[in-house]
């Protein structure tokens, strides 16, 4: 039998070595004739399996392919009566605007019984269609010494050695390096196997054959993408900075917050809390909670109670939550760590935003997705500057303007605000992946958010962007720049404090714009200064209340030194910033 192969490539030239096979250049292209890429790839297929008939769809020259042309060829094959055993695509594109269209067409072709093999490009980026689940994606690595590695459950499916190949070229041969030629070799192996079983195969048979003939095999489990549960009526415990922010931003959640609780020994118990919209809460004794009034316990960081030896109050909450069938939204994994073994039912009622290796695609080989929609990041010169608040206000106003916004947060409370994904790398972080993988993980979050048909991605950072000093590793801000690298933002909003040095703000802007190629479009000035009094206690001073002239003086000095729109932090300022960003994106 003859294996029917389609090549989407350049035109295949007449070559003495290929004289014994039938080659049909389906679409003539004078430009594609100039390149020998297709001939070299065809030669790699032929060296492994000679019993092939090849249809060639020439669409690119000088190793450049266009998305529209790839779609055109694939759509033609999918809608025609042509059925190939294998389609070799030693090409790809980085743009992801048409990912759904490409994937749907590829699935149609696969459903006709065709095996799709595609090469990742040689510059290390994510490539379509190689990255699609229905396509065997082929890549190279200097870490592979011979043969190839078969990867189950990976973005890359076959990984071969980064070495020169002696390929057909201009009636002679030439030494080249590239995944295109390994892709041809793999197509040849598939053709050889199809002949050995007389053309009777299923896609799983092909995968098994490639796996069994690999020099090494790797296997990864399914991606565990845990979704947050539905909530309607919630109580907060204990009273803390994070949960006070939730109270102040409660109108942006869909939660009806019934009450705020703490243990009776806490200094917060009995405290009256007034939110920004003038609603008042009394921090109540947890022992007096009414269990029939809510469905969800939002539990903040409890380490101070565990360390103080009063963990029995936390365990009581756990036991009664199980008894009364209440859900627990936990800001960290302390509860699960302490009590899951004793109370296995916790696994069914607790949601905690955690990031581990099981949450995202494997074997990406450092490749990251191109996010084709605007990415906006809020970052600051220090911690406690209202970055998350600014992000949530901007998110709300973007939605009011009719935009579908992908909300990514670094705050563990993000799920209360319907965040698409949470990367909680701040205080008591629940991110258990290496720092050098932060970029890939946040990039995957942004890409998965984009696939939900979002118009904009919005993220906010933790802490400072530049170090306070350069003499202690604890001041290193590698995490922020890793996340910036993974997000590749288009626009940055910078929050600053009135006691920041102008030089620090200037250097932060320069660093962010140089590193990420983003534009810092606005500066939001948080009027609160954090001081330490003579007794060592932290004190917050709001200049809007105590000394607005000092605040105005700082803003005047800032505006005379830095040519960026400057706003006093407020909900209205967040709206103005969104309007400015919409204008920028409309240009």
CA dist 503 to 165, 384, 470, 557, 561, Å?
Answer: 54, 20, 16, 12, 9
Tell me the DSSP string of 479-543.
HHHHHHHHH--SEEEEEE-TTS-HHHHHHHHHHHHHHH--EEEEEEE--EEEEE-TTS-EEEEEH
For the record, the structure tokens of 483 come out as: 């996340």
Instruction: Convert 162-173 to b/e letters by CB count within 10 Å (16 or more is b).
Output: beebebbbeeee
Distance CA 123, CA 178 (A): 10
Distance CA 191, CA 8 (A): 16
Angle between the 502-516 and 478-487 helix axes, to the nearest 10 degrees? 40
- Tens of pLDDT along the chain (587 residues) come to 899 999 999 888 888 888 888 888 887 666 656 688 899 999 999 999 999 999 999 987 665 678 888 999 999 999 999 999 999 999 988 877 888 899 999 999 999 999 999 999 988 889 999 999 999 999 999 999 889 999 998 899 999 999 988 888 877 788 889 999 999 999 999 999 999 999 888 899 999 999 999 999 998 877 777 788 999 999 999 998 889 999 999 999 989 999 999 988 888 899 999 998 889 999 999 999 999 999 999 999 988 888 777 778 889 999 999 999 999 999 999 999 999 999 999 989 999 999 988 877 788 888 999 999 999 999 999 998 999 999 999 999 999 999 999 999 999 999 999 999 999 998 888 999 999 999 999 999 999 999 999 999 999 999 899 988 788 787 888 999 999 999 999 999 999 999 999 999 999 999 999 999 899 999 999 999 887 766 666 788 888 888 889 999 999 999 999 999 999 999 999 999 999 999 999 87
Q: Which residues is 540 bridged to in the sheet?
A: 530
Instruction: Return contacts of 162-165, CB within 8 angstroms, 24+ apart.
Output: 165/44
Q: How big is the CA angle at 300 (ends 529 and 498), to the nearest 5 degrees?
A: 10
CA dist 371 to 13, 446, 586, Å?
Answer: 37, 7, 18
Distance CA 24, CA 421 (A): 49
Q: Which of 385, 373, 382, 411 is nearest to 252 (CA)?
A: 411
The helix (H) or strand (E) run that includes residue 209 is helix 203-212
For position 13, what pLDDT does the model report?
85
* Tens of pLDDT, residues 282-340: 999 999 999 999 999 999 998 888 877 777 888 999 999 999 999 999 999 999 999 99
Distance CA 373, CA 491 (A): 11
For position 25, what pLDDT does the model report?
85
Q: Which of 585, 433, 245 is nearest to 260 (CA)?
A: 245
Contact indicator for 127, 67 with CB cutoff of 8 Å: no
Distance CA 364, CA 268 (A): 48
Instruction: Convert 234-266 to b/e letters by CB count within 10 Å (16 or more is b).
Output: bbbbbbbebbbbbbbbbebbebebbbbbbbeeb
């Amino acid at each position: 039998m003859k294996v029917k192969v389609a090549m989407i490539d350049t035109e295949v030239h007449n070559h003495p070595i290929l004289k014994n096979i039938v080659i049909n250049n389906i679409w003539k292209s004078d430009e594609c004739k100039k390149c020998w890429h297709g001939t070299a790839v065809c030669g790699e297929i032929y060296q492994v399996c000679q019993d092939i008939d090849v249809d060639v769809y020439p669409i690119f020259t000088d190793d450049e392919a266009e998305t529209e042309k790839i779609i055109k060829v694939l759509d033609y094959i999918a809608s025609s009566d042509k059925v190939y055993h294998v389609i070799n695509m030693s090409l790809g594109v980085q743009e992801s605007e048409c990912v759904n269209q490409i994937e749907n067409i590829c699935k149609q072709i696969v459903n006709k019984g065709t095996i799709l093999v595609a090469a990742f490009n040689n510059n290390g980026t994510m490539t379509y269609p190689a990255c699609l689940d229905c396509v065997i994606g082929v890549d190279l690595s200097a870490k592979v010494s011979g043969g190839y590695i078969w990867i189950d459950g990976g973005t890359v499916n076959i990984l071969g050695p980064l070495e020169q190949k002696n390929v057909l070229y201009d009636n002679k041969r030439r030494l080249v390096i590239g995944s295109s030629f390994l892709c041809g070799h793999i197509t040849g192996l598939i053709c050889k196997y199809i002949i050995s079983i007389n053309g009777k195969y299923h896609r799983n048979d092909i995968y098994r054959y490639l796996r069994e003939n690999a020099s090494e095999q790797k296997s990864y489990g399914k991606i565990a993408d845990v979704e947050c549960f539905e909530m309607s009526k919630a109580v907060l415990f204990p009273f803390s900075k994070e949960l006070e922010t939730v109270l102040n931003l409660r109108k942006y959640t869909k939660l009806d917050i019934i009450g705020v609780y703490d243990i009776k020994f806490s200094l917060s118990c009995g405290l009256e809390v007034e939110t920004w919209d003038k609603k008042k809460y009394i921090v109540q004794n947890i022992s007096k909670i009414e269990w029939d009034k809510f469905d969800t316990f939002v539990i903040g960081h409890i380490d101070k109670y565990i360390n103080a030896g009063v963990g029995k109050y936390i365990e009581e909450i756990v036991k009664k939550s199980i008894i009364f069938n209440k859900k627990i939204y936990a800001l960290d994994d302390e509860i699960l760590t302490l009590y899951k073994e004793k109370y296995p039912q916790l696994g069914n009622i607790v949601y905690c935003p955690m990031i581990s290796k099981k949450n995202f695609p494997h074997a990406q080989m450092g490749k990251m997705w191109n996010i084709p929609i605007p990415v906006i990041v809020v970052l600051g010169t220090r911690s406690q500057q209202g970055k998350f608040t600014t992000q949530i206000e901007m998110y709300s106003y973007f939605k009011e303007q009719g935009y579908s916004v992908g909300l990514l947060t670094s705050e563990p409370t993000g799920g209360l605000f319907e965040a698409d994904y949470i990367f909680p790398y701040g205080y008591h972080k629940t991110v258990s992946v290496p720092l050098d993988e932060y970029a890939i993980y946040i990039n995957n979050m942004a890409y998965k958010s984009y696939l939900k048909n979002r118009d904009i991605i919005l993220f906010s950072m933790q802490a400072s962007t530049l170090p306070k000093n350069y003499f202690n590793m604890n001041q290193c801000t590698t995490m922020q720049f890793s996340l910036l690298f993974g997000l590749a933002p288009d626009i940055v909003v910078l929050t600053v404090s009135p006691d920041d040095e102008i030089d620090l703000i200037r250097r932060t802007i320069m660093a962010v714009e140089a590193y990420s190629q983003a534009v810092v479009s606005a500066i939001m000035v948080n009027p609160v200064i954090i001081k330490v009094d003579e007794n060592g206690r932290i004190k917050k001073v709001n200049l809007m209340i105590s000394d607005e002239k000092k605040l105005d003086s700082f803003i005047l000095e800032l505006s005379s030194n830095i040519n960026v729109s400057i706003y006093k932090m407020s909900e209205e300022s967040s709206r103005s910033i969104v309007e400015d960003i919409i204008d920028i994106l409309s240009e």
